[in-house]
Amino acid sequence: MQFLSLLSLFFVSFTYAADGVSLRNDREGESVYALKSVTRSITTLLKTVSAAEIKAALKAGMKDTPEAKLCSFDLNTKIQKALPASADYKAVVHYLRSQNEIDDSIARILIRAHEAHTMKFPEQEENHAYWLPKDEAKVTDMSLALESFEKKFLAVSCFDEAYKSLHNEFMKVDKKVKDHHIEAIFHKALVENKISQKLFERLERARLSEVQKWTLSLKDYVKKIRSLRNQYPLRDVNEKSKFVTEEVKKINLSRRQKLLENYSDLQIVVMANVIKKLRTRLDSDRMEILVYAPEDGTTEVIPLNPMDRFCFCVVKLRDEMAQLRLNTYFNGRSPDYVDLVTAAFEIGLIPASELDTVGNMEEIWNPKKTFWDKAKVWITTIGSVASIVVPPPYGFIPALAMVVIQATSTDTDPAASDPTRLFKCKN
Amino acid sequence: MQKLILATLLFSSFAHALEVEHKAVVRVESGKARIETVTLTDLVSDRAFDGEHFMVVKGKGKCSIIPPQKQDEKEKEVCVDEPVSFDADEATLLRASTTYYHLTKARDYFQNHLKSDYVKSMEKVVIRIEHQNQFSELGHFANNNLEPQFNNALTVPAGKGLASRNVTPWGLEIWFRPVKRVNLNDLQVNNLQAKEFKALLSGFRNQIHMQSLSRFLSSSVTFLTQASSGASSPFSLDSLIRTAGSSLVMEAGYIFIDPITKATSRQWYWLDTAMIPEIIYHEYAHAALSDYLVLSHSTAIIEGMADFFAGQIAKSPTLAKKIKKYNTFNGKNAKRKQDYQIEFELGEYANTDFVFGLLWEMKNILGEEKGESFMFDLRKNLNTNSSIRNGLVEGFIKTCKEECSDPFNDRIRILKALNLRGI
């Protein structure tokens, strides 16, 4: 039996490898980058380059590239080579995304690498030696790490990964290494002819683009998706959702981009299973509490009414979300509810048609605050002070305002104080 | 020969589908009630309100007293249902035509719009207007000397009769009571709005008292600790009067609010049920839903369901409003936001508009068309004794499983909405 399982796993992975690496979008609806300006840039691009040419360029870029050698910088170079030099590369990537040849995560990876590769240098300072670390030994160690960059790191990995490895080396030498220290080390190596002008420029651009902070490389992405699809083959490969491409406020990433950037495949599976259990519970028509009597071994069965069942699902979900934070796989990271729902869709545990409904359930325990809700807090605070400060006979005005606010505020969970409810959705 | 056939055809068409024009109370486009000429259809008589589906009878019908046949027997009253004649007095005529017209409309809604087989196969329903007797499950009409009934309407289930007392079997009937001016002091009313206002006033009163106390304490502390600062004494007569004054005024207001409200608000209550279209629809809805919601007693569920379909027939979320001539109670409003209270499960609160509003909201969640048929099928998963929290919610879930095009999503949407109502 074990042999059979092993064989089938091997077969699955072999089949996947035989198909070659695919970057095709299989989950996302309308792109997070689907803006008017992007549409205009695509329209302009298609006046000079045909759609077939762009698709062929991607195909050429991917051709004969094994998963282990997938690099965003290299892929960009290959695609650009296959297209006229005048082609706007960002528009090329956006076009590929609009045609579902790639998804938003890959689009971000490619555009980020492109920007890092083509960025303009700011004006250079002359006195770089001044910014070197004061400790000579540290300067020497860092310089040595830099000198071995090409052989030790770049020869065996992609440029972004190699730069991250170099940065790690710097951190090992000095935990408090600053950006200006690294800049000075690069300049020192250039002046001393330890690195070429070309490599210096690449490294400087990587430093200015903060490549060390990039959490998801092209290779990581492909590996992650491949692992997830092997474990949870999609029932419908054409099923796409707009829910996962909604932008997450403040971080300028879509929900799916955030998921893939921040969580490993194992974490995604664990998160998704929380939602799978929630869905099963929500769909259940029967829930009971069993009470075992220790003395005579009898049991009391307490059936839950529909609203108690519903709120039990919410309470249990919140419990399981809290438990995730304690899970060793998560290292104290606390995924939010939308992350969980996105994870469940990513591996096909909930269909796209249910995403909005399940995703909006958060409103139950975390309702959106309207302007009026926020204003009420201020009015109540000011009113309570004013009720003492304002002399009679006008003191009744703030008191009346507070009472009216209390009376008109709609409770998001009116059952919260109802003793006849076993479970309350919002505690 | 040809003349004879023509005459027979004319007679038969008259006999089966007579149409007569009469004045009736109807809603005009603005929603207001007006007396207008309407066409009464499906009549089988050209002299009285006797139709294929309804017969309008005044009170108990034509009654006669049968003298005792034996020595120890009492005299008996025997009544025969006789339809209200087109020659009746104007007031009776208006009530009879209004009920007949709106009941026909309600029946058409259930039979043709909701495709109710039960309504289609329903026998002729006797409609009693100006009927004062209480209902007796055994004797049909309770004894005349029992307290007469006014200002309401009810749908009574069919009965087997009582042969020993000369009570013949009767079918499903709808009774409209006569109108009567009643002083509100004589009525026990569950006025939820008044209770809510009282609670609001109570909160204001507490706030004012706390405010007076806080001000007094803070000025006392300031005065006692910084006597040299020149702050006025909170213990002076002027200051005490000012501080206590607002509390006293508030307390007086709180104590006298009930008599003041009583003195300034409406004193008299009346409800002419046979003249209000939505009440007629409501009563017919009871009859149409009685295949599952047995008419044994009044509960929040059966009243709410009847209200919902009355609203659907009237195409309005409000019932019995804008008709002050015939109604002085507040009517019902499905749009009124109201949180669940456990008291709504009690029979005495059965006629609040909570369930009506809830069903209306659910219909809007499911979509106008789907929601309507959903609510009609909901009755199959309910019974007269269903509670709001258990029976109704379980009914929603079961019906959704059978009816909803997207059962999981709709189920969650329903449960979320119910949770927001505090159920």
Residue B204: alpha-carbon gap to chain centroid: 34
User: CA of B416: which chain A residue's CA is closest?
Assistant: A364
3-state secondary structure chain B: CHHHHHHHHHHHHHHHCEEEEEEEEEECCCCCEEEEEEEEEEECCCCECEECCEEEEECCCEEEEECCCCCCCCCEEEEECCECECCCCHHHHHHHHHHHHHHHHHHHHHHHHCCCHHHHCCCCEEEEECCCCCEECCCEECCCCCCCCCCCEEEECCECCEHHHCECCECCEEEECCCCCEEHHHCCCCCHHHHHHHHHHHHHHHHHHHHHHHHHHHHHHHHHHCHHHCCCCCCCHHHHHHHHHHHHHHHHHHHHHHHHHHHHCCCEECECHHHCHHHHHHHHHHHHHCCCCCCCCCCHHHHHHHHHHHHHHHCCCEECCCCCCCECCCCEECCCCCCCCHHHHCHHHCCCCHHHHHHHHHHHHHCHHHHHHHHHHHHHHCCCCCCHHHHHHHHHHHHHHHHCCCHHHHHHHHHHHHHHCCC
Report the C-alpha gap between B353 and B368 in whole angstroms: 20
Cβ contact (<8 Å) for A403 and B204?
A: yes
Q: How confident is the model at residue A411 (pLDDT cuts 50, 70, 90)?
A: low
Q: What is the pLDDT of residues A102-137, one digit of tens each?
A: 999 999 999 999 999 998 877 766 777 777 888 889
Please write the tens of the pLDDT for every residue from A230-239: 999 998 888 9
Each residue's pLDDT tens digit, A138-175 = 999 999 999 999 999 999 999 999 999 999 999 999 99
B217 contacts in chain A (CB < 8 Å): none
CA distance B34 to B42: 23
**Minimal C-alpha gap between A296 and chain B (Å):** 31
What does chain B come to in residues?
423
Query: Which residue in the set B207, B401, B412 is minimally distant from A399, CB to CB?
Result: B207
Predicted interface score ipTM higher than 0.85: no
Residue A299: in which H helix or E strand, if any? strand A299-303
Burial environment of residue B207 by CB neighbours within 10 A (0 to 12, 13 to 18, 19 or more): buried
- A288: distance to nearest CA of chain B, Å? 14
Q: What are phi and psi of B149, to 5 degrees?
A: -105, 140
H or E stretch covering A332: none
pLDDT at A300: 94
Check pLDDT > 80 for residue A408: no
Taking a C-beta distance cutoff of 8 angstroms, is the pair B400, B414 a contact? Answer: yes
Of B246, B340, B390, the CB nearest to A392: B246
Identity (one letter) of the amino acid at A80?
Q
The amino acid present at B90, given as its one-letter code, is E
Residue of B nearest to A279 (CA): B408
**Residue B413 sits at the chain A interface (C-beta within 8 Å):** yes
How many Å separate Cα A362 from the centre of its chain?
Answer: 19
Q: How many CB atoms lie within 10 A of CB B260?
A: 11
Question: What tokens were used for A123?
Answer: 């004006």
What are the distances in angstroms from CA A171 to CA A179, A181, A211, A286, A371? 11, 11, 14, 57, 46
Which pLDDT score, from 0 to 100, does residue B6 have?
42
Query: Pick from B215, B393, B416: which is nearest to A306 by CB?
Result: B393
CB-based contact B352:B190 (threshold 8 Å): yes
pLDDT in tens, B246-299: 788 888 888 888 888 777 777 788 999 999 999 999 999 999 999 999 999 999
Contact B347, B303 (CB under 8 A): no
Cβ contact A282–B408 (<8 Å): yes
Within 13 Å and on the Cβ side, how many CA atoms surround B130? 14
pLDDT (mean) for A255-259: 97
Name the residue with tokens 């965003």.
A72
Asked if B208 and B250 count as a contact pair (C-beta separation under 8 A), the reply is yes
Tell me the chain A residues in contact with residue B340 when contact means C-beta distances shorter than 8 Å.
414-415
Instruction: Round the average pLDDT of chain A to a whole number and report it.
Output: 88
Predicted TM-score (pTM) of this structure:
0.81
Would you call A302 helix, strand, or coil by DSSP?
Answer: strand
Rounded to 5 degrees, what angle do the CA atoms A310, A324, A245 make?
Answer: 75
Q: Residue A403 and residue B203: Cβ atoms within 8 Å?
A: yes
pLDDT band per the 50, 70, 90 thresholds, residue A346: very high
Strands B125-129 and B173-176: parallel
In the block, residue with structure tokens 């009847």: B306
Interchain CB contacts (distance < 8 Å): A and B: 102
Residue A391: partners with Cβ closer than 8 Å, 6 or more residues away: B242
β-strand partners of B50: B55
pLDDT of residue A14: 40
CB contact A127 to B (< 8 Å): no
Which of B249, B394, B416 should one mutate to test binding to chain A, selecting the residue with the greatest count of A CBs within 10 A? B416
State how far Cα B260 lies from the chain centre.
29
Closest CA to B81 of B97, B58, B99: B58
Q: How confident is the model at residue A371, as a pLDDT? A: 81
Cβ separation of B412 and A357 shorter than 8 Å?
A: yes
What residues does B268 pair with on adjacent strands? Answer: B183
Q: Select from A392, A400, A411 the Cβ nearest to the Cβ of B242.
A: A392
Those residues with Cβ within 8 angstroms of residue A102's Cβ, 6 or more apart along the chain or in another chain: A23, A24, A25, A58, A93, A96, A110
A400 neighbourhood in chain B, CB within 8 Å: 204, 207
pLDDT of B229 = 66
d(CA A367, CA A414): 13
> Residues B358, B389: contact at Cβ < 8 Å?
no
Confidence at residue B227, expressed as pLDDT on a 0 to 100 scale = 67
- Taking residues A8-14, report their average pLDDT: 43
Cα B50 to Cα B17, B117, B119, B158, B357: the distances in Å are 11, 23, 18, 19, 36
Q: Where are the alpha helices (DSSP H) in A20-103?
A: 36-48, 51-62, 72-81, 89-98
Above 80 in pLDDT, residue A427? no
- pLDDT for the residue B151: 94
CA pseudo-torsion sign A82, A88, A90, A93: negative
Q: Does the CB of A355 have a partner CB in chain B at under 8 Å?
A: no
Beta-strand pair B268-269/B318-319: unpaired
Contact A256/A27 with Cβ under 8 angstroms? yes
Cβ burial of A178 (10 Å; 0-12, 13-18, 19+) is exposed
B412, A282: Cβ pair inside 8 Å?
Answer: yes
Half-sphere exposure in the Cβ direction for A400 (13 Å, CA): 8
**B22 and B40 Cβ atoms separated by less than 8 Å:** yes
Please tell me the distance from the alpha carbon of residue A93 to that of residue A248, in angstroms, as a whole number.
Answer: 21
Q: Which among B272, B347, B350, B291 has a CA at the least distance from the CA of B172?
A: B291
A342, A228 contact by CB (below 8 A): no
Assess contact for A310 and A282: CB atoms under 8 A: yes
Contact A415 B342 (CB under 8 A): no
Going by pLDDT thresholds of 50, 70 and 90, the confidence category of residue A417 is confident
Grouping H, G, I as helix, E, B as strand and the rest as coil, residue A101 is coil
Percentage of chain A exceeding pLDDT 70: 92
Q: Helix A104-118 vs helix A218-231: angle between axes, to the nearest 10 degrees?
A: 170
Spatial distance between the Cα atoms of A305 and B140, rounded to a whole number of angstroms: 39
Give the span between the Cα atoms of A340 and A274, in whole angstroms.
7
**Model confidence over A39-78: pLDDT tens digits?**
999 999 999 999 999 999 999 999 888 888 899 999 999 9
Cβ contact, residue pair B419, A307, below 8 Å: yes
The Cα A266–Cα A276 span in angstroms is 15
- Nearest CA to A404 out of B417, B196, B193 is that of B196
Nearest chain A residue to B238 by CA: give it: A392
Dist CA A320 CA A102 (whole Å):
34
Neighbours of B202 (CB within 10 A): 13
Closest CA to B89 of B139, B146, B125, B129: B129
pLDDT less than 70: residues of chain B: 1-16, 187-193, 227-231
Query: B208 to chain A: which residues are within 8 Å by CB?
Result: 395-396, 399
- B383 CB neighbour count, 10 Å cutoff: 16
* B interface test, pick of A310, A390, A402, A417 with most B CB neighbours within 10 Å: A310
CA distance A231 to A347: 9
Q: What is the pLDDT of residue A339?
A: 97
